[in-house]
Structure 1
Amino acid sequence: MEEYIKISQMVHSITKMDVTLNDRDGNTLFDSIHHSIPVVLGHPDDEYVHTNEILNKHHSNQYYHHINPYGLEYMAVGIWREHSFYGSLIIGPFISSILVIDLIKEIMIKNSLPIGERKQLEQFYQSLPVLSEIESKYIGELLVNLCSHEYINSGQISSNTIKPVINYDQLKITIEENKDIIENRYHHQNKLMDAITKGDRAEVQILIDSLIDVFVGFSDRVPGNPIRSSKNMAFVCNTLYRVAAERSGVHPVYLHNISERFAIVIERTTTIPSLKKLMFSMANEYCDLVKSFSTGHYSPIVKTAVDYILLNLGYPISLTTIAKQIHVNPSHLSRKFKEDTGMNITDFINQKRVGEAKLYLQRGNISMTDIAFMVGFNDLNYFSKVFKKLTSVTPSQYAKKRKL
């Protein structure tokens, strides 16, 4: 199977997608995987056996487009030698819909996934390649053609390299110019990090333009490969944004997921204009993350309590439960929580749950009962009462207004 390991490496390098090579029993012989599938979505190992069974029942010139219960799609082709099935080469996961948020809502409801996982799942699905029907078809046909005959070793014919002539006077000028560029870049970088730490999206929009201009100026760091240089700078910015958001007190769970997603998207981007657009998206999303999940302005006890609440919204939560989990006295926690947030724990939890409920009500085709249970309310009447108290309208009225 060594030749198919080479093919797997080649497919991964060109498509930037995850590739797995399995033997006939479903055991993994090689993989090149960037995506860490969230625990709540299970693990695809049992799907490898299923995929092999399907491929083994069909002709060697056919490929298998598999969609699992969580909407994750895979393209697989059998490896055959002298009409005998040897294993499979699988590429994925990918998705065929850009409506990620809607997809997440449907998947969470169908599979009864905890509401606290929504943000992490959003980040994961947004990191996946989105393939059109024709693109997935071409990938299937490509895999069939790559795996239907023996691997052929190839050789490269190279052109002669022209040795550059160094102009030392110009080199001195360039060094001075680069010094100014570096100082300017660090100045804007620090201001931008401060803006992200505050979640100040308006300030970020002003600063990001200057940073991107400087960013493009560093596109020759890898000689002859400006896209690689630009990607490297984008990785640096991703790290800077993550550190800035961390300073605001955003929980590492959220930071890990958004950082991993952007790392994958950066590597998959193929043009400098696309990378520039991505820089805007990255800064804005980190800013939004700070706005939604920052707890750095709270005292340590309240910060820990808020983090626990945000990660467990879909489960029963009470003052006693939280106090026990974070090992503090309930009365002390209640007092500190009111001091820091201006509301008691029950009101805070209800506010966050109603915020989540709004996202599902905007969908328009989910029952009120399902939404209530998804966001942690065990009683539909209580859900409606709390929702109206916080929004001045009932859940049904809110959903109807969103349709208009």
Structure 2
Amino acid sequence: MNESQIISTSMKIHYITNLNVYVLNQDGDLFYENESISIPMFMPGNNAENVKALYEIMTEDGEEEIVYSYINEWGLHYFGRRFRVLEQMYTIIIGPYFERTPNHYRLTIDYQLSNDQSQDLRVVCEKVHVLSGEQANSFASVLGQFRALLDQKLQTKIIVADKNKRSIKDQMNHIDEDAELVNVRYKIEKEFIYAVEQGDKKTALKLMNSSNMSTLFSFSERFPNQPLRRLKNLAIVLNTLLRTAARTSKVSSILIHRISEKYAFEIEQASQLTTLYKLEERMIEEYCDLILSNSLKKYSTLTQKIIEHLLSSYDKPLNKEELASIYHTHPSHLSRKFKQETSYTLSGYHQMLRLNKAKHLLKNENLSIEDISWVVGYEDSSYFARVFKKETGMTPSQFREEET
């Protein structure tokens, strides 16, 4: 038995559990990893620190026939097991997973994360699997059988059905049909992208649900017996088209990246056809809403850059001089041009972004007014409440009660 067999079996564990898999040799060196989810630098456990911590605990303990469970301070769970091959000791570790869905805003507040870090944390929280007790126990059992899986030899007999040969005439007709299909495809693509660029959800959904659209992107010949994979590929193409439409509409690249990454992960994690059908409609609606509310194409390049900067750092204090220095212009010119194009002063736009985020949190998150104040960038919750009431006519508490 050699290391290639260990790697092959580790790959099987990854396919079974869909968790990251790490294998270390007896010197603690990582010689195999299959990492689909990476931990950001600001989180404890980044750079495989969780893996190394669990390895050291297991090595010190010395047990070979048990499965270890490790939980870090942010609630990330891992399983580990030691096994021996030809007098060499190896360690396999799988994870992370969550026991319950974490409140990423609570973590943002507790660890004083910036807006960008908070958004990255949200993505991680959405990607990391939440396992029930039964699922976690099943994966632990699979890991407990790792040594037996190494010794297992499986023979596979491949049976390939004969394909009926088509005549040259049939093949030529098929080529003509393909050419016509390609032309129709590009026509529908253009109509679909245009509808999305206008934020026209009704037309975009109608085009998406048309028989032509589903036929054009069905991938039926590539995956004749894999309906789930076929629909996933359709969703991937759709995500790409929507991302292109948003980019053409000059939506902030930060916002496009966040929504695109979110749906790319949801697509791959979907296990049912109905989930994917609903996901497609949700994608179209969310991208259209994003374009309607965030299109920057009507602004100059300078104003676009300023808006993108404010979108990513609305939770930080606004420094006009520093902002002007970043984009190589004079503060007064920057303020005048921004007001001219957006009808907002810089501070007014900055405040608007903060209050919009606060409204979203008040409607959708079970956070205190003080916590929400901090998340959106106000250190003084009383001042936040005064600003909120001045702009909306309601206190944050009244707004929350009215929306629920």
TM-score by length of 2: 0.85
Matched with 1:183 is 183
Moved more, 135-144 or 277-286: 277-286
CA distance, structure 1, for counterparts of residue 121 and residue 193 of structure 2:
26
Matched with 1:76 is 79
CA distance, structure 2, for counterparts of residue 284 and residue 293 of structure 1:
14
Counterparts of 1:60-99 in structure 2, within 5 Å, are: 60-71=64-75, 73-81=76-84, 86-97=89-100
Give the superposition deviation at 1:311.
Answer: 0.8
Counterparts of 1:136-175 in structure 2, within 5 Å, are: 136-147=136-147, 150-159=150-159, 161-166=161-166, 171-175=171-175
Residues 25, 49 of structure 1: 8 Å contact kept: no
CA distance, structure 2, for counterparts of residue 195 and residue 388 of structure 1:
37
Give the superposition deviation at 1:391.
Answer: 1.5
Matched with 2:54 is 51
Aligned-partner residue type, residue 48 of structure 2: D
Matched with 2:20 is 18
Give the superposition deviation at 1:176.
Answer: 4.4
Matched with 1:27 is 29
Give the superposition deviation at 1:305.
Answer: 0.7
Aligned-partner residue type, residue 184 of structure 1: V
Taking a change above 3 Å as real, the CA distance of residues 160 and 241 of structure 1, as seen in their structure-2 partners, is closer
Taking a change above 3 Å as real, the CA distance of residues 95 and 218 of structure 1, as seen in their structure-2 partners, is same
Taking a change above 3 Å as real, the CA distance of residues 248 and 144 of structure 1, as seen in their structure-2 partners, is same
Q: C-alpha root-mean-square deviation of aligned residues, in Å?
A: 3.1
Matched with 1:37 is 39
Give the superposition deviation at 1:214.
Answer: 2.6
Give the superposition deviation at 1:212.
Answer: 5.0
Taking a change above 3 Å as real, the CA distance of residues 362 and 281 of structure 1, as seen in their structure-2 partners, is closer
Aligned-partner residue type, residue 151 of structure 1: D
List alignment gaps of at least 5 residues for structure 1: none
CA distance, structure 2, for counterparts of residue 398 and residue 85 of structure 1:
64
Moved more, 251-260 or 370-379: 251-260
SS in 2 for 1:89: strand
Counterparts of 1:116-265 in structure 2, within 5 Å, are: 116-147=116-147, 150-159=150-159, 161-166=161-166, 171-210=171-210, 212-215=213-216, 217-222=218-223, 224-265=225-266
Counterparts of 1:321-400 in structure 2, within 5 Å, are: 321-362=322-363, 365-400=366-401
CA displacement, residues 232-287 of structure 1 (integer Å, 9 cap, x when unaligned): 34333222221211112233333334333433433344455443333223323333
Taking a change above 3 Å as real, the CA distance of residues 163 and 370 of structure 1, as seen in their structure-2 partners, is closer
CA distance, structure 2, for counterparts of residue 238 and residue 61 of structure 1:
45
Residues 80, 94 of structure 2: 8 Å contact kept: no
SS in 2 for 1:34: coil
Aligned-partner residue type, residue 7 of structure 1: T
CA distance, structure 2, for counterparts of residue 52 and residue 81 of structure 1:
15
Matched with 1:115 is 115
Give the superposition deviation at 1:147.
Answer: 3.6
Residues 63, 82 of structure 2: 8 Å contact kept: no
Aligned-partner residue type, residue 368 of structure 2: S
Aligned-partner residue type, residue 30 of structure 1: Y
Residues 96, 128 of structure 2: 8 Å contact kept: yes
Give the superposition deviation at 1:12.
Answer: 2.4
CA displacement, residues 107-164 of structure 1 (integer Å, 9 cap, x when unaligned): 2122211124444433343333343332222111111112456433332122353242
Residues 324, 331 of structure 2: 8 Å contact kept: yes
Aligned-partner residue type, residue 34 of structure 1: S
CA distance, structure 2, for counterparts of residue 121 and residue 195 of structure 1:
32
Aligned-partner residue type, residue 138 of structure 1: S
Moved more, 165-174 or 120-129: 165-174
Residues 79, 148 of structure 1: 8 Å contact kept: no
Taking a change above 3 Å as real, the CA distance of residues 367 and 76 of structure 1, as seen in their structure-2 partners, is same
Moved segments of 4+, more than 6 Å: 82-85
CA distance, structure 2, for counterparts of residue 114 and residue 166 of structure 1:
62
CA distance, structure 2, for counterparts of residue 289 and residue 128 of structure 1:
25
Taking a change above 3 Å as real, the CA distance of residues 157 and 279 of structure 1, as seen in their structure-2 partners, is same
Taking a change above 3 Å as real, the CA distance of residues 65 and 366 of structure 1, as seen in their structure-2 partners, is same
Taking a change above 3 Å as real, the CA distance of residues 63 and 147 of structure 1, as seen in their structure-2 partners, is same
Report the count of equivalent residues.
399
List alignment gaps of at least 5 residues for structure 2: none
